[in-house]
Amino acid sequence: MNALSIPTWMVHVSSVVEWIAAIWFIWRFAEVSGESAWKALSFAMLPALVSAMCACTWHFFDNPTSLNWLVTTQAAMTVVGNCTLCAAAWWIWRARRAQESHD
């Protein structure tokens, strides 16, 4: 737990909490607006959340070499998350275009 300072821990933890809140708010927006394509964005945000949790876990245990696999998992989840976020943005764009063509 000594690997990071208290202010750095505050940034890490608040970022994870904010990301979880963003996922929830986007899901609620999809429900309230009836635009279900936005739910894809909520799901697409999950790999980035896993990435952040890997980083926090690794730092929590003082960055031991025995947990280096968490660093690899974090990197992989960042790449996967970027791809899923891109796909979700495309999904939302496509849904909006389809909706506009029907109006």
Domain count, the chain: 1
3-state secondary structure the chain: CCCCCHHHHHHHHHHHHHHHHHHHHHHHHHHHHCCCHHHHHHHHCHHHHHHHHHHHHHHHCCCCHHHHHHHHHHHHHHHHHHHHHHHHHHHHHHHHHHHHHHC
Task: Specify if 78 maps to a domain.
Answer: yes
pLDDT on residue 1: 63
Tell me if 42 is assigned to some domain.
yes
Residue 20 lies in a domain: yes
In this predicted structure, what is the pLDDT of residue 3?
Answer: 75
The pTM assigned to this predicted structure is 0.89
pLDDT at position 57 is 94
Containing structural domain, residue 76: 6-102
Q: Is residue 31 part of a domain?
A: yes
Q: Would you say residue 1 lies in a domain?
A: no
What is residue 102's predicted lDDT score, i.e. its pLDDT?
81
Q: Which residues of the chain carry a pLDDT beneath 70?
A: 1
